Amino acid sequence: MQIELVGKPAGTAARVTLAQGETLTAEVGAMIAMSSQLQVTTASKTKGGKGGVLKGIKRMFSGESFFLNSFTATAQGQEVIVAPSLIGDIVHHQLTGGTLVVQGSSWLASGVDIDIDTTFQGLVAGMFSGEGLFWVKCSGTGDLLLNSFGAIYTIDVKDGYTVDSGHIVAFEDTLEMKVGKASKSLVGSILGGEGLVCKFTGQGKLYCQTHNPPSFGQSLGQNLKPRS
């Protein structure tokens, strides 16, 4: 599988070239274009993967879709182009046996040897991290594509790191996430507009997005008409 990211960073799309027999699993609706020698199957599990209906239902709680699309090349050098619906960037992460915890709607596509499951990060983290109750857990070996609102920047966490809610894309599960206050005083944290933040400890890779969907929604939403 060869992956090329085009149109970075505002309108990034991933051009994935598959060898005969290779499969890419992608989010429903992510495909923009593809070669003709690809077989498309829609199921609630990855091709040849475990899980079924239950996994699909769990995935719906994390903000992803019940179904997944699998694109299998039936000839050499088949190409599929995938992109998220929001403007923003894509990051290509190489999983080598570890686990990456991905924020609800940031999973875009992955190879078949990556298991996609839903995980619960705890009630407090779920309710106050601003990221939703359930996260997508990707484990195994292979290529993983994640999307963001805004650009993506990588932080190698060593001595702890703080991320404002709404800015997390994904993190390695060697990191521990806790919800905390932005400043020492709770009143200050809330009044300062930063509210609660996510604090990471341990060592590992953390992907953040530069822009925050709720903040953008707030500045746009006040001018939108109510649905009639």
Binding footprint of another protein on the chain (CB under 8 A): 9-10, 87-89, 150-151, 153, 155, 159-164, 167, 182-185, 188-189, 191-194, 199, 208-212, 215-216, 218-220, 223-225, 227
Whose CA is closest to 194, among 212, 210, 175? Answer: 212
CB of 72 to another protein, least distance (A): 34
Shortest Cβ 169–another protein spacing (Å): 11
Determine the Cα–Cα distance for residues 130 and 133; give it in Å rounded to an integer: 9
Closer Cβ to another protein, 61 or 216, answer by number? 216
Residue 77 or 176 with smaller CB distance to another protein: 176
Residue 2 or residue 201: which is nearer to another protein going by CB?
A: 201
Helix (H) or strand (E) segment spanning residue 108? strand 107-111
Least distance from another protein to the Cβ atom of residue 11, Å: 8
Between CA 122 and CA 101 the distance in angstroms is: 13
Number of Cβ within 10 Å of residue 27's Cβ equals: 23
Question: In angstroms, rounded to a whole number, what is the distance separating the alpha carbons of residues 149 and 221?
Answer: 17
Nearer to another protein by Cβ, of 21 and 192: the residue is 192
Residue (73 or 198) nearer to another protein, CB: 198
Residue 58 CB, shortest distance to another protein, in Å, is 28
Q: Is 89 exposed, middle or buried (0-12, 13-18, 19+ CB in 10 A)?
A: buried
